[in-house]
Amino acid sequence: MALATINSFLERIDELVNRAVNPDDRGFRLQLESLVKQGGRDTENAIAHYITGTLIGISTRINLIRMAGYIRSAAFLVPLKNVIELGEDDLLREEAVFSVSKYNDRRALDILERVLEKNKNKRLRAAITQAIERIKNSNPFFAMLPRFLLGSKNRELFEITLKVFKKILDPIEAKGFIAYLHHGDPVVADGAFEILCFRGDEAVFYFIAEFFRERSRLLLRVADHETGSERLTRLIAALHEYLKRHQGFFPQLRPDIVALAGRRGESDWEKALAALRADAEKNDGAGCESCL
């Protein structure tokens, strides 16, 4: 895109921000989003450059930083982080903190917590601390996470929270549960696996596969017991859910499914395995139904 066209979009964005009566107005935000979409990635990159550079004045940079908070594009997170860490103006840095907090997710929380560890400016530290608390209080994920981590200490609360997480989390939030796959409480670890299976994207496949291999071998030893059978059933059902959404990974897990099939018996987990195997056969483009 020509520089003149990019500048045109930037001028329109600057004008829109400056004349806004209520920056929280939905119509105002939608107009900003429309301009960024029209400008595309080139416009986002130009805005990111202007946010961290010195080619325009502080007031315009503040307006662009505010706009970044309204749009919440991933392209703006690193520039905003750089402003907080290296910005030459305290007001500019505080606005960047506020805009990062508007992302209201794990990415924003990670950035603010890392910056807080390094920063010695009392006023800025206070703004960062408030932003962190605002994210934790307004995002249901952070509000509910302590209930999930109760695990076996309070199974009722844990199961309710797990059910909600399996419905509402986005892939970025789900990815954060990789850290809990090796939690000391097996209930928490198994729950993290279910969340990754129900809400995770392709990026978490390696962790899902490794956990499934390790956990299924362990649970097979106690599959004759009610608790072991129940846990193995849930493990297989969760993996099935993931593979239904990401069918291309069926072949990579075929040997592990075969290993389970060779030791199956009359149990609930055998039924879950049979359903998994049936879908695997449907998605076997080579027609190698005998492989399973």
Residues 91-123 pLDDT 10s: 999 999 999 999 988 899 999 999 999 888 899
Cα 48 from chain centroid (whole Å): 22
Q: Are 104 and 74 in contact (CB under 8 A)?
A: no
**pLDDT tens, position by position, 21-74:** 554 556 666 776 777 777 777 778 777 887 887 776 787 788 788 888 888 888
pLDDT of residue 1: 47
**Do residues 292 and 281 lie in contact, with contact meaning Cβ atoms separated by under 8 Å?**
yes
Q: What percent of the chain has pLDDT over 70?
A: 85
CATH of domain 3-138: 1.25.10.10
| C-beta atoms surrounding 223 within 10 Å | 24
Residue 130 has pLDDT above 80, yes or no: yes
3-state DSSP assignment of residue 81: helix
Domain boundaries, the chain: 3-138, 141-291
The Cβ of residue 112 has, within 10 Å, a number of other Cβ atoms equal to: 24
Residue written as tokens 């329109």? 12
Q: In Å, what is the CA distance from 46 to each residue of 43, 66, 68, 96, 138? A: 5, 15, 12, 17, 31
pLDDT at 19 over 80: no
Q: Extract the tokens encoding 16.
A: 């829109």
